[in-house]
Structure 1
Amino acid sequence: MQRVLVLGATSAIAAEVAEIHARRGDRLHLVGRNAEKLEAVAQRCTGATKVTTERADFADLDANEALVKRAIETLGGVDAALVAHGDLGDQLASERSFKDAETSLRTNLLSVVSLLIPLANEMESARHGRLGVITSVAGDRGRPRNYTYGTAKGALNVYLQGLRTRLYASDVTVTTLKLGPVDTPMTRDHAKNVFFGKTKPVAEGIVRAMDAGVPEAYVPSFWRAIMTVVRSTPEALFQQLPFLSGR
């Protein structure tokens, strides 16, 4: 039985991850912004040793350290934690208004860091634990269609690299989960194509990567090859290819 903390548990992907752990008989603590959705996810987690929940708004950065400490106390320790919250935001709005840009950076970078600091400190002290953080392939290269969101995810990737090396000596693993687009409510307004993942296999990929303690996982895995090409394309060529540089 593992003690598992899921932050952002009401997202479609995180809810699937929680169900996987419930089927294993793990002890779960689920945190999210919407109390009704949290209860619905908890009801899906039949088989878990125990499920507890807490409603929280991760945008309240000053409250996140206490939130993490309460979660760990409720669980009686923590073996694995997944940070799964985020928001695509409105790219065009973030180009016209710093307030909108700041909101995206706060949601997708600063709030995550404010949760990771107390989590990392706890696991480092215990010399035990697995951290998983959902980022995005958007963080691998800036593209006009989502570069504010991508900036937050790219910076988060760098933060996780440093954190992973810091915690290595304490036997704590940090897994950067670089997701491609997934067919979820967050992407309801996006035209779907063959590259969109499905929530259940994506969640299974997340759990496998965290179990194995791999440093970085592209989910689905084919995105590793795609993003290798995207990252290595010279900028002069990149700017002339609408399928890469277009909105």
Structure 2
Amino acid sequence: MSQRVLILGATSAIAHAYARRKAAEGASLVLAGRRADALQANAVDLRARGAAQVDVVEADLADIASIAEVAASCRANGAFQEVLLAYGILGDQAQAETDLALARKVIDVNFTSAALWLLELLKGQPATQPLTLLVIGSVAGDRGRKSNFVYGSAKGGLERFVEGLQHARAATATRIVLIKPGFVDTPMTDGIAGKGGPLWASADKVAGDIAKAAKSGTPEVYTPWFWWFIMAIIRNVPRVIFHRTNI
């Protein structure tokens, strides 16, 4: 019997790169996201790449009021052994500092709805039934920085939430993995000035690191690996010095 995999935010570049890897393994996939045309196009591609079955669920995953209903639709054909939570938005930091509606959207999409999705996915999950939850966070959550603290605080909150879930589920068959990408070359980051260079990774590179983490069950993974060292330095710079930087 093929592995059943749910991908939340299936039209993102990282999510689709990961879905291609699962399709090649013969997995049954459920693709959830907002853009019906992109979901259907991805489904065609994944079937051609070997997926046993591909179903599509069109929904606004950040709509908090509909999470339980959408989750039920996703589970219509059976339980999942693996879930990738891959949706999110960057937002504009400068605008978010004065536009409270935008700030709330960035926080609700990247933290509130994501946290509630994780609770919904774990609701009633038997302690002995294997389930792997792969949650895409960000290195931006490691320390508050003036360049992206609205987005970064939401990802930082998600990290603490995942850490708590890992503790709560430590004695069960549920594995929860936090994926922390650095700069990734995707349409989501097209608005970042100076995009490109050695610190930037492809969506496929990140998808490969997610696949390794899914197999190993490592609780936290920086991708590419060198971001662990970069963020260790940033986290440990004394505040009096850090406040003089422009990052």
TM bucket normalised to smaller: over 0.9
TM-score (norm 2): 0.95
Write the letter of the residue equivalent to 1:8. G
Q: What do the CA deviations read for 1:92-149 (whole angstroms, capped 9, x no partner)?
A: 1111122111111011001101211111124345632000100100000111111000
1:42 matched residue in structure 2: 43
Q: 1:237 to 1:224 in 2, by over 3 A?
A: same
> Does residue 135 of structure 1 match 2:147?
no
Q: What do the CA deviations read for 1:12-70 (whole angstroms, capped 9, x no partner)?
A: 01001111000000010000110001011111112011000110002210111121122
> d(CA) in 1 for partners of 2:211 and 2:167?
21
Sequence identity (%): 37
Q: Report the number of matched residues.
A: 242
Correspondence for 1:91 among 93, 99, 103:
93
Structure 1 residues 15-24 or 202-211, which shifts more? 202-211
TM-score (norm 1): 0.95
Correspondence for 1:64 among 64, 67, 71:
67
1:107 matched residue in structure 2: 109
> Does residue 228 of structure 1 match 2:236?
no
Ranges in structure 2 where 5+ consecutive residues have no aligned partner: none
Write the letter of the residue equivalent to 1:34. R
Q: 1:159 to 1:57 in 2, by over 3 A?
A: same
2:27 matched residue in structure 1: 26
2:166 matched residue in structure 1: 164
Q: Secondary structure at the match of 1:197?
A: strand
> Does residue 5 of structure 1 match 2:6?
yes
2:176 matched residue in structure 1: 174
Structure 1 residues 50-59 or 190-199, which shifts more? 190-199
Ranges in structure 1 where 5+ consecutive residues have no aligned partner: none
Shift of 1:239: 1.6
> Does residue 197 of structure 1 match 2:201?
yes
Q: What do the CA deviations read for 1:194-241 (whole angstroms, capped 9, x no partner)?
A: 101111111111111122111000011110011000000011111223
> d(CA) in 2 for partners of 1:170 and 1:150?
30
Given that 1:178 and 1:217 are in contact with CA atoms closer than 8 Å, whether structure 2 keeps it comes out as yes
